[in-house]
Chains A and B, each alone.
Chain A
Amino acid sequence: MSLRVKDVVCPFCGCLCDDIVVYVENDEIKEVENACKFGAHRFLAVKKHRIKAPMVREGQEFKEVSYDEAIKRAVEILTKAKKPLLYGFSSTSCEVHEVAIELAELLGAVIDNTASVCHGPSVLAVQEVGYPSVTLGEVKNRADLVIYWACNPMHAHPRHMSRYSLFPRGMFTDKGKLERFLVVVDVRRTETAEIADLFVKVKPGYDFEVLNALRTILNKGDIPHEEIGGVKKETLMELAERMKNCQFGILFFGVGLTMSRGKHRNIAEAIKLVRDLNRYTKFSIMAMRGHYNVTGFNEVSSWETGYPFAVDFTRGYPWYNPGETDANSLLQSKDVDAVLVIASDPAAHFPRESVRYLAKIPLIVIDPFESLTSRIADIVIPSKVVGIEAEGSAYRMDAVPLRLKKVIEAKGLLSDLEIMERILEGVKRKLSSKSEIAVKM
């Protein structure tokens, strides 16, 4: 049987493009329309590099086991641990987040998502100075000045410019690119910088100074230096003038700001610049969120616990202190004794010091695909690919929720949601039997 499924939401990056067309024949994806290279690969290669069966490690070898056995052992690890960490969540659905937060509370665990290694500092800045943001639809319809600061959408969000910011014709921007001015600010001349109307090259680690200089020009009219952070005063004056005089400006920023010297201070300064610009014109700011549902976890966690990531339940109530309760700080200070990783690959994306400890403690991995974390795990549980083999909810980078579709069946596999629900049930049973024993004694 062949099917043409339209309006499919792409489960890859924070763009969550919802215009994908997928052609399915006998449960095989044959063709994909409208997707970028990442998205097309996600759909067309969905059956490659998969974890074939649940596994447990015995010595240096993995042994295939049943789902029941793998989940039973995962429950044992989690209930034995004094302080387990639940981590990942950015490539799975909000429904999974909800169950995971309940599990974390029940276990007295710490729960964190990949925001802590991408836009965690942005969240810290937003909590300090607010977030004058918009939706991507507003940007498409109105923006005549588009700034990409410390990000490279050509490589990280390939359809961002064509779908939302630079090229599309909007309600008040009906000439598309001809009516928009593109500024790229970065430490290197990226492919995105190549197509910019103005490229501003900043010395690595000097974004705060450049943002602060722009604020000074806006507020005082001048700066007492000829160059700031490798950028000439004339360029800064020109940029400030353009920002003031546009009709609708948008500043998209990437992890070039969050991961460099200054971290959350860089973002706070960028937000303050946008705040200052609103005295002259309409200006907004938006983080270029990476994983397709990293925003979703922050949303769910905020409404469930009051905090967006790095939530510690060891006190019996939610406690939030990034720098202490985030995954890397916990691993580097050896302050957790078991980890459950779902829909993420910290062994590939954490610094050496964190991975060294992660490799030595009991580790459970839930993922559809082979990952480096699965190679150092003790229990590996395969799952369906959310957005292709299982449905669910996800939040786009502008916090617009979208429904992910199921386009093919994945027989014999459980979804992330089913696995997490079974683990939760197992933990509840184990903890209630423990408390019954304690009562009898």
Chain B
Amino acid sequence: MEFILISGRTMHQGETLHQKCSEEYMKACAICEMNPEDMKELGVKDGDVVRVKSEAGEVNVYVKPCEGLDRGIVFIPMGPWANAVVPAGTDSTGMPSFKGIKVRIEKADGRVLRGDELVRRYEFEG
């Protein structure tokens, strides 16, 4: 299914800011909040792993219901998981487009990587 992705700060993300290699940080930020109706259509329940894909790349995160989001919009807290799908380029402003990203989301079987595992992979990516 296609969605518009918004990333941003959350209380839990801010609290775990200085323990980024921990499971707590992963639980706070490796989540994708989604309207419950969209979750039903996608066939996923709270805590399932979904793969979020954009033109920049893809990442696995846990899905979580959120009534405050309209259908078609998802939210991932700021962090390496959201940033894995943020496109390159800054529209000549210096600012990447962290919000309003077109993504495709599907149910996944894979594992969700910890923050340090995710960024250390970049050392070997071409």
Residues of A near any B CB (own CB < 8 A): 12, 37-38, 41, 45, 48-49, 112, 116-117, 120-121, 124, 152, 154-156, 158, 187-190, 193, 201, 204-205, 255-256, 258-261, 263-264, 290, 309-310, 322-329, 332, 345, 347-356, 358-360, 369-372, 375-376
Contacts and interface: CB of A to CB of B under 8 A. Distances in A.
A204 to B, nearest CB: 5
Given A349-B79, A355-B83, A370 B4 contact: no
A188 B88 CA distance: 25
Nearest to A112: B94
B47 interface: no
Interface residues of B, number: 50
Given A187-B73, A188-B68, A349-B78, A256 B90 contact: no
B120 interface: yes
A345 B79 CA distance: 10
B6 interface: yes
A133 to B, nearest CB: 20
26 contacts: A38-B14, A124-B93, A155-B9, A156-B14, A158-B11, A187-B73, A188-B75, A189-B69, A204-B6, A204-B99, A256-B8, A259-B99, A260-B100, A263-B91, A290-B9, A322-B93, A328-B95, A329-B94, A347-B119, A348-B83, A348-B119, A352-B85, A352-B86, A371-B20, A372-B115, A372-B116
B120 A375 contact: yes
Contact of B92 (A45, A323, A351, A370): A323
Interface of B: 4, 6, 8-11, 14-15, 18-22, 56-57, 66-70, 73, 75, 78-80, 83-100, 115-116, 119-120, 122-123, 125
Contacts of B79: 348-349
Nearest to A230: B70
A230 B100 CA distance: 15
Given A37-B14, A355-B80, 8 more contacts: A204-B4, A259-B99, A328-B94, A352-B85, A358-B122, A370-B20, A372-B21, A376-B123
A256 B18 contact: no
A310 B95 CA distance: 11
A232 B119 CA distance: 43
A264 B93 contact: yes
Contacts of B56: 351-353
Task: Name the residue in B4, B14, B123 with the highest tally of chain A Cβ atoms < 10 Å from its Cβ.
Answer: B14
B96 A350 contact: yes
A323 B14 contact: no
